[in-house]
Amino acid sequence: DQTGFHYTRYVVAVLGMIAAALLSMSE
């Protein structure tokens, strides 16, 4: 299902942004 795939990519992008924010706050 293309919708599920698009949703997965969106979740991965959000998780990446959160991880980057946590690393930035860590330093």
Tokens linked to 13 = 């992008």
Residue keyed to tokens 């959000």: 14
C-alpha–C-alpha distance, residues 27 and 20, integer Å: 11
**Cα 16 to Cα 2: distance, rounded to the nearest angstrom:** 21
Taking residues 1-27, what's their average pLDDT? 90
Statement: residue 1 has pLDDT above 70: no
Tokens of 9: 């990519």
Give residue 10's pLDDT.
Answer: 93
**What pLDDT shows up at residue 14?**
97
Share of the chain above pLDDT 90, in %: 67
Sorting pLDDT into bands at 50, 70 and 90, what band is 6?
confident
- The whole-model pTM stands at 0.60
Among positive and negative, which fits the CA dihedral 12, 15, 19, 24?
positive
Per-residue pLDDT band for 23 (boundaries 50, 70, 90) equals: very high
